[in-house]
Structure 1
Amino acid sequence: MIMNEKIKASEVLLIGVNGEDLGIVPTKEALKMAKELEVDLVCQSLASSPPPCRLVSRTDFKQQAIQDSAKSRKAEKGPKLKEIRLSAFIEDHDYDTKKRQAERILVAGDSVQLTVRLEKKESQEAKKLVEELVRELAHCGKQEKGIQVSGKQVIAVMLPL
């Protein structure tokens, strides 16, 4: 990041504090404007001529840099897989709570694994429950594979849209 007097170009393409385009301005005049407004002149890229520079308050610029680095770290890691456990004979209120929880996770950009633990011979009820939940969550996520029924549990994985 090149700021203020470290910018060596004779003229810059200046962008104002509120994002307005101020055109091509001599660097000395841009620095003078920055001092008058009590902000910094920040060079965004050295690839073009004249280099685009922006008038930015230092605190705003630092906060923006922190937010950008956090977003890039999250994008680098990829979505997390979060598990939601249910029982085959779940009450309506508990079902709604689990559905809202799954919606919140999918909207945040993470994947959800819906797991129904089986106790006896309840695999058909569990499968119907998971199918219904997947159908109701279709507006905020899509099912990765089919519903997997194993000996002790029924699983469906949903990906965010």
Structure 2
Amino acid sequence: MNSQIKSPQVFLIDHENNNRGLIDTYEALQIAQSVELDLVVVSQSKDTPVAKILNYGKLQYQKKKRQGQSARHVVKEVRLRPNVGAADYRIRIEQAIQWLSKGDSVKFAIRLRGRENQYRDKAGELLEQVVNDLSEVGKVQSLDKRSLIAQVIPA
């Protein structure tokens, strides 16, 4: 940036995004200083780098903000019933494997309604089966058999 640019010439893009073409670095610095902005190399090529006139502090702030957004992990939720069909169960597990491989965590919740509450043990077994099926790609962060919730994070 600014005086740290070693190349004698740069392709210049000014503060209004107009391509100024090949220009001397010193002259580009003068233009940047006249509008009270910085001259920043945005693309380093073999012959001549591409430099842009912009506010360097603002660029750093936006870059840091983007990194913070991408670092935020996502929790995906899958709700199941204790009498879920084999094909539906397999689809949910495959979907969870994809999410875990992307880096998201997955929360499995088994919902019981009405008479299904009599078969809590069957729902607990289903939750154990989910944990076993996902043990290769993820590890269990929390397993609550009382509320029938399991949270799996990427391994």
TM-score by length of 1: 0.58
Aligned to 2:135: 138
Q: Percent identity?
A: 26
Aligned counterparts of 1:91 and 1:148: Cα–Cα separation in 2 = 23
User: Is there any run of 5+ residues in structure 2 with no aligned partner, and where?
Assistant: 12-20, 23-38, 53-59
Query: Kindly tell me: are residues 42 and 57 of structure 1, through their superposed partners in 2, closer, same or farther at Cα, counting changes over 3 Å?
Result: closer
Aligned to 1:96: 90
TM-aligned CA deviation for residue 134 of structure 1: 1.3
Letter in 2 for 1:130: L
Partner deviation per Cα, 1:46-77 (whole Å, 9 max, x = no partner) = xxxxxxx823598xxxxxx98885343221xx
Note the 1:11-160 alignment, pairs <5 A: 12=6, 27=7, 29-31=8-10, 42-43=40-41, 54=44, 55-56=49-50, 70-75=66-71, 78-118=72-112, 119-145=116-142, 147-150=143-146, 153-160=147-154
8 A contact 1:123–1:149 mirrored in 2: no
TM-aligned CA deviation for residue 80 of structure 1: 2.2
TM-aligned CA deviation for residue 43 of structure 1: 3.8
Alignment: residue pair count: 119
Superposition CA RMSD, Å: 3.4
TM-score by length of 2: 0.59
Aligned counterparts of 1:56 and 1:140: Cα–Cα separation in 2 = 43
User: Is there any run of 5+ residues in structure 1 with no aligned partner, and where?
Assistant: 13-26, 45-52, 59-64
Aligned counterparts of 2:99 and 2:107: Cα–Cα separation in 1 = 11
Query: Kindly tell me: are residues 56 and 158 of structure 1, through their superposed partners in 2, closer, same or farther at Cα, counting changes over 3 Å?
Result: farther
8 A contact 1:83–1:113 mirrored in 2: yes
Aligned to 1:8: 3
Query: Kindly tell me: are residues 86 and 56 of structure 1, through their superposed partners in 2, closer, same or farther at Cα, counting changes over 3 Å?
Result: farther
Letter in 2 for 1:115: A
Partner deviation per Cα, 1:100-157 (whole Å, 9 max, x = no partner) = 2211222222211111112222222111111111111122211002x3122xx41111
